[in-house]
Amino acid sequence: MRTSLILLACVGFAQSLVRVPLSHLPSVRSRLRAANQLDEFLREHQPDFFSRRYAHCYPAAQHYLHMGGRSKERLFNFMDAQFFGQISLGKPEQNFTVVFDTGSTDLWVPSSYCVSQACAMHNKFKAFESSTYAHDGRVFGIHYGSGHLLGVMAREELKVGSVTVQNQVFGEAVYEPGFAFVLAQFDGVLGLGFPQLAEELGSPVFDSMIAQGVLDEPIFSFYLRINGSGFGGELLFGGMDETRFVSPINWIPVTQKGYWQIRLDAVKVQGALSFCYRSTKGCQAIVDTGTSLIGGPARDVLLLQQFIGATPTAVGEYLIDCVRISSLPVVSFLINNVEYPLTGEQYIRRETLNNKEICFSGFQSIDIPSPAGPVWILGDVFLSQFYSIYDRGHNRVGLAHLSGRSQISV
């Protein structure tokens, strides 16, 4: 009898953990580069992706950063998104590939009524085929560097991994701007930020999961891998996978709800350079799965690029001689008194173009004014080296070093 109870308890626990496999595929930027169209695209659009994504961080007085009405300039950096997973909407299920993004909060997918070229290249939601669809009637608009994504709001049954969320608010995009969306390897976005960012589309998916009691704990966690195999790791709802990391977990309080924003004590470059250390507040950092790079204040990052010997390109990227990677300095992030070092092999991005390997710096300049101090963005270059945990129950982020098994998983 006791054995049966233990087995039942294990089954119940397994059901409360929702596993979503992730794929790692080339970003829009990489595909544009491979097609010899990146320079032309960036010259024409001159997008300031980071300031648009983090417009919510700017002082309220800078009202020109907001579109007014229900259209706000905030969403993920779609040019560099590279980790994707599957969800389904409706009954019968309609499948979509999405970016699971901690830097935004809304859920949207293309509508069957979309008139854009980009929609023709992706899966589209067909409301008339679903028995569980409920029309909302409201409209939404989200600004990108190349124009506005427009759509209508609805409610539907959503399936993520093994869990079903009832009556989930989502957006049906009827217009997707720009050529970049045509090349994107995702259909839409599922945001995992705090509900304070959800002015566009109502209750976020993770909040719905918590409210409907389908998870064991109000936690989700990411294991991200960049290894060239297409395997991108795993997103886990309802807890964490303790086989993926080694204890202890460094728990860092969220300093401002919206993004997963935390305090960053210092950024160090092998004892020769140090940023944030002059401020008693340190810096702020946004932990962001929807951005591939590590971003920092322009003056600091320029010094960092010069120190590692990176040279700028015409489109704002920084190149590194690939043969120098093994001799590059270690860049460390001090968070809650714990140091997280990155070697050159870890912060340099490699791409192959015309059978030639090209190496890019994984750092990018941004400037986001904040009353709490300078802001850095910890994107996938950082997050792929550690296990990250997002705890809404205690409003904190957990970071842990990967286990030996996880470092070689494919």
Query: What is d(CA 263, CA 337) in angstroms, rounded to the nearest whole number?
Result: 10
pLDDT in tens, 95-124: 999 999 998 888 999 999 998 888 888 999
**Mean pLDDT in residue range 291-304:** 91
Q: Where are the beta strands (DSSP E) in 161-193?
A: 163-175, 188-191
**Which of these is catalytic: 288, 300, 380, 391?**
288
260 confidence band (pLDDT: 50, 70, 90): very high
Averaged pLDDT for residues 250-269 = 93
pLDDT of residue 200: 58
Residue 339 has pLDDT above 60, yes or no: yes
Contact 153, 138 (CB under 8 A): yes
The backbone torsions φ and ψ at residue 120, rounded to the nearest 5 degrees and listed phi first, read: -65, -20
Residue 28 · residue 79 · CB < 8 Å: yes
Mean pLDDT (whole number) for 325-347 = 95
pTM for the whole structure: 0.87
Percent of the chain with pLDDT over 90: 54
Cα separation, 256 vs 375, in Å, equals 12
45 falls in which pLDDT band (50, 70, 90)?
Answer: low
Q: How far apart are CA 207 and CA 158, in angstroms?
A: 13
CA angle 94, 99, 102 (to 5 degrees): 130
21-30, 97-106, 153-162, 276-285 — which is least confidently predicted?
A: 276-285
Mean pLDDT of the chain: 83
Under 8 Å between Cβ of 302 and 296: no
**DSSP assignment string, 363-401:** EEEE----TT--EEEE-HHHHTTEEEEEETTTTEEEEEE
What confidence score (pLDDT) does residue 188 get?
92
Nearest partner of 106 among 252, 233, 290, judged by Cα: 290
What is the pLDDT averaged over residues 174-185?
79
The two structure tokens encoding residue 149: 């994504």
**Distance between terminal CA atoms of the chain?**
40
Told to judge if 101 belongs to the known catalytic residues of this protein, a careful annotator would answer yes
Active-site residue, from 80, 101, 187, 265: 101
Q: What's the average model confidence in pLDDT over 317-330? A: 95
380 is catalytic: no
Place of tokens 């706000």: 72
- pLDDT above 60 for 26: yes
Amino acid, single-letter form, for residue 356: K
Tell me the average pLDDT across 122-151: 85
CA–CA–CA angle 226, 316, 106 (5° rounding): 60
Domains recognised in the chain with CATH numbers: 18-52+74-219 (2.40.70.10), 242-402 (2.40.70.10)
Residues 288, 294: Cα–Cα separation, whole Å:
9
* Residue reference for tokens 């401002």: 256
Band (165; pLDDT cuts 50, 70, 90): very high
Contact yes or no for 235/222 (Cβ under 8 A): yes
